[in-house]
């Protein structure tokens, strides 16, 4: 009996000690170098998540920069397109103005102006640059070639009218060829001054500024007394302006105003001089 009581007493004393040994011991030095909190598994996942969060803004930044570069390039290309569209529109407007001007001149009549008593270049004129040509030298260098055929006014008129009809038909390539052929065949014809002027007009309508300038300049060089000289000089100034030779434009316009007062070409030249 005593043995049982002693055993119960020992058991009662040891149970609390066993329970205390089962409770985990918490180390209060969690901030020490030897501690690891949070657990290693959680720490690894957290490091991975932190790395992803750091990399994401970098990728987004690169994408933003690429988009910004694309927008800048698109803006630059749009600017180029707008400039080209403006240039094309200006060219179309100039071409339309040339056609309207040509139509008005055609409407005025293609019949040649009254020929001067002397169509030679004895009085001189201006060259393509607007500089006066000395009478003697100009006559020697720019005199029309002698026709290989005897003069036949009726035949010359048929030839001239055929070339002029090509202008009315807006066939400027063939008209240019026809007037050039006419001038080679009948350089001394009463229609030659007009043919030389209209050669400049059709070349201008074609957009051949160099050919137009040469043709207009030859009117005053080869036919200085012809009624088309003021108009040809004014058109020559317009060609030089289109070519960008602004230094020559003013001199030609001043010559038209000074030498051919009262003409429509002089009035237009005076207006253009005021705009310069």
Domains in the chain, ordered, with CATH? 118-147+156-275 (1.25.40.10)
pLDDT of residue 79: 80
Per-residue pLDDT tens over the stretch 112-147: 544 443 343 333 344 433 443 333 333 333 444 444
pLDDT of residue 83: 78
Are 243 and 140 within 8 A, CB to CB?
no
- Which pTM was predicted? 0.54
pLDDT of residue 4: 54
Q: What is the CA radius of gyration of the chain?
A: 48
Q: Is 261 left (phi over 0), alpha (psi -120 to 50) or beta?
A: beta
Question: Which segment of 56-65, 68-77, 206-215 scores lowest on mean pLDDT?
Answer: 56-65
């Amino acid at each position: 009996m005593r043995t049982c009581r002693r055993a119960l007493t020992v058991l009662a004393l040891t149970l609390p000690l066993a329970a205390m040994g089962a409770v985990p011991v918490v180390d209060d030095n969690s901030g020490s170098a030897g501690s690891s909190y949070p657990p290693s598994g959680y720490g690894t996942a957290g490091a991975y998540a932190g790395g992803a969060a750091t990399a994401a803004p970098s990728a987004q930044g690169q994408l933003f920069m690429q988009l910004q570069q694309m927008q800048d390039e698109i803006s630059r290309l749009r600017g180029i397109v707008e400039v080209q569209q403006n240039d094309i529109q200006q060219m179309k407007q100039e071409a339309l103005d040339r056609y309207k001007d040509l139509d008005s001149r055609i409407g005025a009549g293609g019949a040649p102006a009254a020929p001067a008593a002397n169509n030679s270049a004895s009085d001189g004129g201006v060259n393509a640059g607007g500089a006066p040509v000395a009478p003697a030298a100009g006559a020697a260098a720019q005199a029309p070639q002698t026709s290989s055929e005897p003069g036949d006014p009726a035949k010359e008129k048929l030839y001239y009218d055929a070339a002029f009809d090509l202008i009315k038909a807006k066939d400027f390539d063939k008209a240019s060829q026809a007037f050039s052929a006419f001038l080679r065949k009948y350089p001394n014809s009463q229609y030659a001054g007009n043919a030389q002027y209209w050669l400049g007009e059709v070349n201008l309508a074609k957009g051949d500024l160099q050919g137009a300038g040469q043709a207009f300049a030859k009117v005053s060089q080869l036919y200085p007394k012809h009624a088309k000289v003021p108009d040809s000089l004014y058109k020559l100034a317009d060609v030089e302006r289109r070519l960008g030779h602004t230094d020559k434009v003013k001199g030609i316009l001043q010559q038209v105003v000074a030498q051919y007062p009262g003409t429509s070409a002089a009035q237009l030249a005076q207006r253009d001089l005021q705009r310069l």
